[in-house]
Amino acid sequence: MKFSRRQFLQSSSYAALGLTLSNVPAVHGQSSGVRPAPMMPAPTFVDTNGISMAVYEKGSGPAIVFCHGFPELAFSWRHQLDAVAAAGFHGIAPDQRGYGLTGGPDDPMQYDMGIFCDDLVGMLDAKGIDRAVFCGHDWGGAVVWAMGRLHPDRCLGIIGLNTAAGRPTDLPPADDAVRNNIVMTPNYYVATFMPPGQAEAALEADVRKTFDFFLSRGGVDIWDAENFPNYPEDSPERQMNLLAMLERDDPPGEPFLPEEVMQYFTETYEATGFTGGLNWYRAIPRMGTVMANAASRIEVPCLYVGAEHDVILPPTSANGMEDFISDLEKYTVAGSGHWTQQEKPEEVNRVILDWLNRKIA
């Protein structure tokens, strides 16, 4: 079993399988003991696509919807929500399906790309918003690029943070495609996330240790593109075996976020567990049909923001996007690892606002 996370997150075969969720009970995260995020506006709850989605919003003007990745929350966008609101935009950040105050069904087959996009369309409908700019990081980046092809009529623009758009299957490989330095084996973390309960046992054994490991940067670790190739090919680092690294007494990486931030991530996942987010990976085998019939081109204005030291989603993963995106700009954040909007918030805000003011406002 060999595959890459980039293939999963960027695959142009992300699919919606047309599941009807009308009979799935909405899961209200507050019942699980999750408190609203600090440093954020009070959330509201929107019934959409069979779930009760927790939505943080601030400001007025053109809507900017921020979509988080794994293992994150709407809270990851706290810096950007304030910045776009101050600049005359309507910032919207949901806890997505399976996460935080939103929660979601237990069935992993109710977590696929079409469903994620339908969640957002339903949220827009509930708020009376016709079109929005969609800005996503990590898995959220995969969602926003899919929105551009599945629901182009609801998109004002798209911003992919770290995650590049998947290449349509009717195009040949990009001329300047670059091979990833990760050695793909069955130990790759996407594979180890698949068996029910396996990843939960490791991630939930000590949630604070898990976040100290995940939300890290710098040093000789997995978020340093220069040092990464120096690891042996059979090492957990080169194989991106996250669960094996986490089992160490002293996992690699250097936490960089304030204590209040780390505490909120920790207490939230202590309450919810990780199954909701892991279900995004477990539904990957379903993501193979709808994108084949989706639009091949993305015609709305687009921005890709890469991070110099993101080993899993390097800036070179965006090579060739110009072949199927009519209006694309690119920017690389120097010195940043994977958690770009939290590592370099001022720079990310500056780049996003400059683009929004030129392309959207």
- 316 within a domain of the structure (yes/no): yes
Same domain as 91, residue 29 = yes
For residues 28 and 53, state if they share a domain.
yes
Based on the domain organization, do 89 and 228 belong to the same domain?
Answer: no
Q: Do residues 123 and 18 both lie within one domain?
A: yes
- Asked which of 218, 247, 279 is the last residue of a domain, the reply is 279
- Let me know if residue 206 belongs to a domain: yes
Distance CA 114, CA 197 (A): 25
343 and 268 share one domain = no
163 shares its domain with 80: yes
Q: What is the pLDDT along the chain (361 residues), one digit of tens a residue?
A: 333 333 333 333 332 222 222 233 333 444 468 999 999 999 999 999 999 999 999 999 999 999 999 999 999 999 999 999 999 999 999 999 999 999 999 999 999 999 999 999 999 999 999 999 999 999 999 999 999 999 999 999 999 999 999 998 888 889 888 989 999 999 999 999 999 999 999 999 999 999 999 999 865 457 788 889 999 999 999 999 999 999 999 888 788 999 999 999 999 999 999 999 999 999 888 776 767 788 999 999 999 999 999 999 999 999 999 999 999 999 999 999 999 999 999 999 999 999 999 999 8
The strand pair at 90-94 and 63-67 is best described as parallel
Q: Is 218 exposed, middle or buried (0-12, 13-18, 19+ CB in 10 A)?
A: middle
Question: Last residue of a domain, which of 279, 308, 336?
Answer: 279
What region, left, alpha or beta, does residue 41 occupy, with left being phi > 0 and alpha being psi -120 to 50 degrees? beta
d(C-alpha 108, C-alpha 32), whole Å: 19
Residue 292 lies in a domain: yes
Same domain for 174 and 213? no
In a domain, 50, yes or no: yes
239 & 265 share domain: yes
Asked if 48 and 195 sit in the same domain, the reply is no
With respect to residue 79, please indicate whether it lies within any of the assigned structural domains.
yes
Structurally, the chain folds into a number of domains equal to 2
Q: What does the block give as tokens for 79?
A: 């810096």
Query: 131-151 pLDDT, tens per residue?
Result: 999 999 999 999 999 999 999
Question: pLDDT, tens digit, for every residue of 336-345?
Answer: 999 999 999 9
Known catalytic residues? 138, 281, 338
The whole-model pTM stands at 0.91
Judge if 167 and 256 occupy the same domain: no
Domain encompassing residue 212: 189-279
User: Do residues 193 and 330 both lie within one domain?
Assistant: no
Domain assignment present for residue 184? The answer is: no
Same domain, 59 and 194: no
Q: Does 76 reside within a domain?
A: yes
Q: In terms of Cα–Cα distance, which of 186, 178, 192, 187 is closest to 229?
A: 178
CATH of the domain at 101: 3.40.50.1820
For residue 331, being part of any structural domain is answered with yes
Of 245, 279, 313, the position where a domain reaches its end is 279
